[in-house]
Structure 1
Amino acid sequence: MIRSNADVWVVIPVYNEEKVIAGVVEQVLTTFPNVVCVDDGSTDASAQEILGTRAHLVRHPINMGQGAALQTGVSYALARTGGRYFVTFDADGQHRVEDVVGMLELARSGEADVVLGSRFLQNAASVPWIKRVVLRTVVALSPTARRLKLTDAHNGLRVFGRGAAERLRITHNGMAHASEIASVLARSDWRVVEYPVTILYTDYSRAKGQSLINGVNILFDVSMSRRGK
């Protein structure tokens, strides 16, 4: 059965992605008609690129961090009419639309309230070794990830049913927002299921966010998040 997916909103946080964002949005729009991009204080032409698509655009006047952009986008989508499922999707071209389709099928089946993408449920050979070590360490350090039996605590591809999305409150603005989301899920009564996804590690995405410095920042943010509990 071909679905219109009118009950799905895809939320894309954007920060200085002018080179790829229009292509990413257009790809998503071929399957999902409701897309909201949150331009998180970009200093390049990201907003102009988004305006050339059919996506909704919300702008932060200053850079507030990915967690804040996600919360803004989810809140915006919840305020629209007819949304039942809410997808978080990265702006750099790493995520695949076909994986979202599979995750939504699982959510629609009634087996899960929240579906989380995992690059480690199947073949993780394509994951850069630095990223692999960092992500495995994050899971090992996180009691909530262990409680949920997660294999990938920092994957930005997620599907939330409306009930879960309405109760989601992201307060960490940096990379620690992913650990915060896992903590919220662990304390909830929602059914949380992981789904195997493929991450496309392009030269562009590696240059943007797969460096050793980025990995250290993730570990630092997670450490600070644990101290604050």
Structure 2
Amino acid sequence: MKNLVIVANYNQRVEIENYLLQVLKEVPLENVVIVDDGSTDGSKETAQRLGFKVIAHTKNMGIGAAIRSGLKYAIENKFEGVLISSSNGKMVPSQFPRILNELDQGPYTYLQGSRFIKNGESLQLPLFRKLTIPGLSFLWSLLLGTKMTDITCGLRAYKVSLLVDPRIKLDQDWLNRYELEYYLHIKFLRDLKVPMKEVPVAIRYNHLERARRSKIKPFSGWWSMARPFVFLFFRIKD
């Protein structure tokens, strides 16, 4: 199956080169796209210098907008599967072939990474997140009727066929930040009735300075993650 690895980037100059070189060891160059979300630190130019296809936003729009650009590129270029990643180096590229192979083999068309199942790992996960992620995951499990252990893990893989379903509406401005990933999660499970499988992943934080381990801002970031459920449950958006 023809798969695409989407790498979202915003001002990760310190990490991006080493990360992309690791990606190249696992995935052919033509199966990777970098979506630069308005970086000003030279990280976009690093990706271009290494020969990657780069989709460049002229201004910072948000992680959801970056992922959406990657998903639309996958649809337009007839890729069959996508894996979502970030240039911050927290995700381990040696896992990508295993995850994509499982997506190829089926039967699951939606794979969600988890640090909290057998063989999953999280190196130096901040204590606050270690305490809150299980509770958030349990709440989402109750609301959607599907057991999950790591709702906030951004390492996910989908079949592109899910994204072209008319019930999935990617082009909505309110999905520009963290909303898009949770919007898709709800739509896949609730509306498309897609069976999801959690796969073990390792996410590492030990290479990042403490202040750079997460870009999620308290309150505004949390609302960004919760908003899709509120909007879809009350049919404010679709």
Same fold (TM over 0.5): yes
Contact 2:74/2:160 (<8 A) preserved: no
TM superposition shift of 1:216? 4.1
Contact 2:115/2:122 (<8 A) preserved: no
**1:18 alignment partner, one of 13, 25, 32:** 13
The 2-side partners of 1:125 and 1:104 are apart by: 20
What TM-score does the superposition give when structure 1 sets the normalisation length? 0.86
1:47 paired with 2:19, answer no
Letter in 2 for 1:138: L
The 1-side partners of 2:34 and 2:142 are apart by: 29
The 2-side partners of 1:140 and 1:157 are apart by: 19
Please list every run of 5 or more consecutive structure 2 residues that lacks an aligned counterpart in the other structure.
233-238
Q: Which residue of 2 aligns with 1:31?
A: 26
Letter in 2 for 1:12: V
Within 5 A, what are the aligned runs for 1:109-124?
109-122=105-118
Q: Which residue of 1 aligns with 2:235?
A: none
**2:151 alignment partner, one of 150, 153, 171:** 153
TM superposition shift of 1:143? 5.7
**1:70 alignment partner, one of 48, 67, 70:** 67
Letter in 2 for 1:193: K
Contact 2:186/2:229 (<8 A) preserved: no
**Which sits farther off after the overlay, 98-107 or 40-49?**
98-107
Within 5 A, what are the aligned runs for 1:196-207?
196-204=200-208, 206-207=210-211
Q: Which residue of 2 aligns with 1:129?
A: 127
Within 5 A, what are the aligned runs for 1:161-176?
161-167=159-165, 169-170=169-170, 171=172, 172-176=175-179
**Pair 92,206 (structure 1): closer, same or farther in 2 beyond 3 Å:** farther
TM superposition shift of 1:10? 0.6
The 1-side partners of 2:229 and 2:84 are apart by: 24
TM superposition shift of 1:215? 4.9
* RMSD (Å), alpha carbons: 2.3
Cα distance per residue 1:126-158 (max 9 Å; x no partner): 432211223223324436764221111121111
Contact 1:37/1:55 (<8 A) preserved: yes
TM superposition shift of 1:220? 2.3
**Pair 174,134 (structure 1): closer, same or farther in 2 beyond 3 Å:** farther
Q: Which residue of 2 aligns with 1:222?
A: 225
The 2-side partners of 1:20 and 1:145 are apart by: 36
**Pair 24,165 (structure 1): closer, same or farther in 2 beyond 3 Å:** farther
The 1-side partners of 2:68 and 2:159 are apart by: 15
Q: Which residue of 2 aligns with 1:208?
A: 212
The 2-side partners of 1:146 and 1:174 are apart by: 22
What TM-score does the superposition give when structure 2 sets the normalisation length? 0.83
Cα distance per residue 1:77-121 (max 9 Å; x no partner): 22225x222110111001112222221222122221111111111
